[in-house]
C-alpha cells in the first residue's frame, strides 16, 4: 500500500487545481496550501503516520532537486534582460534579500519565538523549492518554512500590487523587483498580469534572490545567533 | 532519446552540486550549486539549451505539486507552531509589507 501517499497527493492536488482554475485563480483557493492543509488534517484525524504517507510521496519531494537545477534554463534564456537591468537587479536583491530575512527574524524574536521558528522564518522570501533546502541547511524546520514561504507568496499575490500602488511606486522595474524579491513565484504570477516587464524582472529577481540568499543566509544566521 | 539526455545532464549537475557542498562543507543546498553550474555550462557552451530545455520546462511547470509532501511534514511540529502562532503571523505579515515597499522604493530611487 505504499502507493497511498502519491495517490492522495496527486488526486487532491488535481481536484483542487480544477476548482482554482474554475474560480479564476482566487488567492485563497491556492491549491498547494489547501492540499497541505487537507492532507495534514486527514493524516491527523485518521492516525496515519507521516512516514507512511511519505513512502511514495517522497518521490515528489525528490524531484525538487532536479527542478531547482532546471531553474538555470530560464536564467540563461533571460540573460539579456539580466544584463540590461544589472544595476537595479543587484541592488534590489542585495538589499531586499537582507531586509526580508532580518525583519522576519527580529520581529519574531521580539515577540518571543523560539530558535527553530526563527531559523524557519528567516528564509520565507526565498522561492519555495530553494527555501526548503536553505531551511534544512541552517537548522530550521523545512516543513514550516515551506508553509511560511507559500503564505508569503499568497500575500504578494493577494495584496502586493495594491501595496505598491499605495506606496506610489510607479517604476515598472522597481515594482517587479519588489514583488519578486518578496513574494517569489506567486507574486510574479500576479504582477505579470499588470505589466510584462514587471513580470519578467520579478521572475528573475525570484531566481537570483534564491541563489544570493542561499549563499548569504547561512552566514547571516551564524552572525545573528551569536548574540 | 533527448529526454534521457536532458535528465542525465540535469541529474549530473544535481549530483555535482551535492558532491561539491558535501566535500567543501559549505552550508548551501547542493541543488542551488548545481543550478549555478548548469547556468555557467550553458553560458560557456558546454551544454546545449535544446538538450535540457524540454525536461527542465516540464519540471519547472510542475514544481508546485512537489511542495506538498514536505509541507505536510508540518503535522510533526503542529503543537509548537500553534503555541507560537502570534509571533509567526505578525513577523510574516510585517516583514512582507516592509520588504516589498523597501525593495521597490530603493530600486526606484536609484533609477531617477
CA of B2 vs chain A CAs: smallest distance (Å)? 15
Total of domains in chain A: 2
A63, A87, A108: which is the final residue of a domain? A63
0.90 cut: is pTM over it?
yes
Which candidate, B37, B40, B61, B49, places its Cα nearest to that of B6?
A: B49
**Are residues A58 and A126 both part of a single domain?**
no
Which candidate, B42, B49, B73, B101, places its Cα nearest to that of A156?
A: B101
Cross-chain residue pair A70–B29, CB shorter than 8 Å: no
Would you state the cell numbers that stand for residue A184, as one nine-digit string?
517569489
CB-based contact, B8 to chain A, within 8 Å: no
A63, A80, A109: which is the final residue of a domain? A63
Residues of chain A contacting B56 with CB distance shorter than 8 Å: 70, 72-73
Which segments in chain B show pLDDT lower than 50? none
- Return the pLDDT at A227: 65
- How far does CA B66 lie from the centroid of its chain? 12
**Are residues A39 and A82 both part of a single domain?**
no
**Are residues A107 and A216 both part of a single domain?**
yes
The minimal CB distance from B101 to the residues A65, A74, A163 is found for: A163
- Return the pLDDT at B48: 96
**Are residues A196 and A166 both part of a single domain?**
yes
Whole domain around residue A42: which residue ranges? 4-63
Residue A100 CB partners (closer than 8 Å, separation 6+): A124, A125, A181, A182, A213, B95, B99
A26, A44, A63: which is the final residue of a domain? A63
Alpha-carbon distance A131 to A220, whole Å?
15
**Are residues A139 and A167 both part of a single domain?**
yes
**Are residues A40 and A129 both part of a single domain?**
no
Grouped pLDDT means (10 residues each) for chain A, 227 residues: 96 97 92 96 96 96 95 94 94 96 97 96 94 95 96 94 96 96 92 92 94 96 87
CB-based contact, B29 to chain A, within 8 Å: yes
Number of residues written out for chain A: 227
Which candidate, A14, A69, A77, A188, places its Cα nearest to that of B55?
A: A69
Amino acid at each position: 500500500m505504499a502507493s497511498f501517499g502519491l495517490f492522495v497527493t496527486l488526486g487532491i492536488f488535481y481536484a483542487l487545481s480544477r476548482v482554482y482554475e474554475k474560480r479564476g485563480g482566487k488567492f485563497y483557493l491556492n491549491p498547494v496550501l489547501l492540499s497541505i492543509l487537507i492532507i495534514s488534517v486527514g493524516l491527523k484525524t485518521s492516525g496515519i503516520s507521516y512516514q507512511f504517507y511519505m513512502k511514495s510521496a517522497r518521490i515528489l519531494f525528490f524531484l525538487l532537486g532536479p527542478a531547482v537545477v532546471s531553474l538555470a534554463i530560464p536564467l540563461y534564456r533571460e540573460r539579456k534582460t539580466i544584463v540590461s537591468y544589472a544595476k537595479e537587479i543587484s541592488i534590489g536583491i542585495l538589499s531586499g534579500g537582507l531586509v526580508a530575512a532580518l525583519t522576519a527574524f527580529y520581529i519574531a524574536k521580539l515577540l518571543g519565538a523560539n530558535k527553530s521558528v526563527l531559523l524557519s522564518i528567516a528564509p520565507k522570501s526565498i522561492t519555495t523549492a530553494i527555501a526548503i533546502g536553505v531551511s534544512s541547511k541552517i537548522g530550521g524546520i523545512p516543513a514550516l518554512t515551506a508553509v511560511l514561504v507559500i503564505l508569503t507568496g499568497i500575500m504578494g499575490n493577494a495584496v502586493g500590487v495594491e501595496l505598491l500602488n499605495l506606496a506610489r511606486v510607479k517604476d515598472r522595474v522597481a515594482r517587479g523587483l519588489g514583488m519578486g524579491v518578496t513574494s517569489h513565484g506567486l507574486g510574479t504570477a500576479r504582477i505579470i498580469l499588470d505589466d510584462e516587464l514587471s513580470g519578467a524582472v520579478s521572475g528573475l529577481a525570484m531566481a537570483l534572490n534564491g541563489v544570493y540568499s542561499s549563499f548569504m543566509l547561512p552566514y547571516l544566521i551564524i552572525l545573528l545567533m551569536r548574540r | 532519446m533527448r529526454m534521457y539526455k536532458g535528465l542525465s545532464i540535469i541529474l549530473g549537475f544535481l549530483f555535482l552540486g551535492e558532491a561539491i557542498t558535501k566535500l567543501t562543507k559549505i552550508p548551501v543546498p547542493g541543488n542551488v550549486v548545481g543550478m549555478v553550474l548548469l547556468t555557467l555550462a550553458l553560458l560557456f557552451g558546454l551544454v546545449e539549451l535544446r538538450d535540457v530545455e524540454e525536461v527542465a520546462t516540464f519540471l519547472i511547470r510542475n514544481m508546485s505539486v512537489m511542495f506538498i509532501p514536505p509541507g505536510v511534514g508540518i503535522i510533526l511540529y503542529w503543537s509548537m507552531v500553534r503555541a507560537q502562532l502570534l509571533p509567526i503571523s505578525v513577523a510574516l505579515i510585517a516583514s512582507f509589507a516592509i520588504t516589498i515597499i523597501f525593495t521597490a522604493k530603493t530600486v526606484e530611487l536609484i533609477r531617477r
